[in-house]
């Protein structure tokens, strides 16, 4: 099932960049060509409708709809249980806030396998660290090599070209509103900074010094759970769609794919009811 997978692309995956082009074949379907590893990389058959609820609409149209809805007093679009994109009043027009989550499409063999396995175009996730209007002044927290604070401009450079980022906003913060930048930073520095990346994608995995290792979505969930009312939970993992690839991948660790064990992926975040889907972020 979609969302029951635990991955994000490892930091060294960029060394194996391959060309990936999404080709729109109808108003509600997209297709990704198979890469040289002969992975089945066809995206979810109805991704366009799942993501937006309608055929693709540009950001200008969405902005106009938000303005009309606000000006005319129309009710805001609320969370949809079937996975449709949503916005609430003027939220879709706002820049990312501290505590928001950004889903990132990447381009590499492992990235493609993750996106194929989980049914979304996203293979990485980060947490927005500060509330600023300028993308040049924005930072994010992420697990990439180590858990660290990264300039948002680095994410823009790293992401898959021609594929937008996607912004999620926690539905219910413990304090009622987005946390302060300083509160997020202090919690990150005291609990997560400098931890190693987990290439094995195992929940609660540790290194030889018994320090926790984290992959991207695991870090995002464990970090943001401290600030939201209802915690996001890991789910059983499934490696069946690209079984041969994952068998070879985990062979380097002398282990089998950890099917059935708890984990999470960017798809877990996208389909979670604990987040409002604000929408795609334009390249700035």
227 Cβ neighbours under 8 A, 6+ residues apart: 99, 170, 173, 174, 175, 179, 184, 187
**Domain containing residue 105:** 11-20+96-281
pLDDT per residue as tens digits for the range 182-191: 999 999 999 9
CA distances (Å), origin 214, targets 63, 122, 126, 182, 211: 37, 18, 13, 23, 10
Report if residue 103 sits inside a domain. yes
How many separate domains does the chain show?
1
How do residues 136-154 score in pLDDT, each as one tens digit?
999 999 999 999 999 999 9
- Cα–Cα distance between 136 and 152 in angstroms, integer? 7
Domain assignment present for 129:
yes
* From 19-23, 105-109, 244-248, the region with the lowest mean pLDDT: 19-23
- Please report whether residue 55 resides in a domain: no
Q: Above 70 in pLDDT, residue 53?
A: no
Higher pLDDT, 245 or 61: 245
Residue 84 is assigned to a structural domain of this protein? no
Residue 30 lies in a domain: no
Q: What is the pTM of this model?
A: 0.74
46 within domain boundaries:
no
Mean pLDDT of the 205-224 span: 97
Report helix, strand or coil for 141: strand
Domain holding 277: CATH number? 3.90.1720.10
Asked whether residue 40 carries a pLDDT value surpassing 80, the answer given is no
Residue 62 covered by a domain: no
Domain membership of residue 83 (yes or no) is no
pLDDT score at 36? 28
């Amino acid at each position: 099932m979609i969302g029951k997978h635990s991955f994000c692309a490892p930091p060294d995956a960029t060394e194996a960049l391959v060309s990936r082009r999404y080709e729109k074949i109808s108003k509600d379907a997209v297709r990704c060509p198979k890469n040289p590893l002969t992975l089945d990389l066809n995206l979810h058959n109805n991704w366009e409708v799942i993501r937006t609820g309608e055929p693709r609409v540009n950001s200008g149209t969405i902005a106009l709809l938000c303005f009309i809805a606000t000006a005319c007093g129309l009710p805001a679009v609320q969370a949809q249980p079937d996975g449709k994109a949503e916005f609430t009043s003027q939220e879709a027009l706002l820049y990312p806030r501290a505590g928001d989550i950004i889903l990132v499409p990447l381009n590499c063999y492992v990235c493609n396998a993750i996106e194929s396995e989980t049914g979304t175009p996203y293979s990485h996730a980060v947490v927005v660290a500060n509330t600023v209007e300028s993308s040049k002044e924005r930072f994010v927290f992420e697990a990439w090599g180590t858990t660290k604070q990264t300039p948002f401009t680095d994410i823009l450079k790293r992401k898959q070209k021609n594929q937008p980022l996607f912004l999620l906003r926690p539905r219910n913060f413990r304090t009622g509103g987005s946390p302060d930048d300083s509160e997020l930073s202090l919690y990150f520095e005291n609990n997560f900074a400098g931890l190693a990346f987990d290439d094995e994608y195992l929940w609660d995995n540790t290194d030889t010094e018994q320090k926790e290792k984290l992959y991207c979505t695991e870090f995002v969930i464990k970090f943001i759970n401290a600030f939201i009312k209802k915690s996001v939970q890991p789910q059983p993992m499934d490696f069946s769609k690209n079984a041969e690839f994952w068998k070879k991948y985990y062979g380097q660790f002398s282990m089998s794919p950890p099917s059935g064990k708890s984990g999470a992926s960017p798809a877990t975040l996208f389909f979670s009811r604990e987040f409002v889907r604000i929408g795609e972020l334009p390249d700035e």
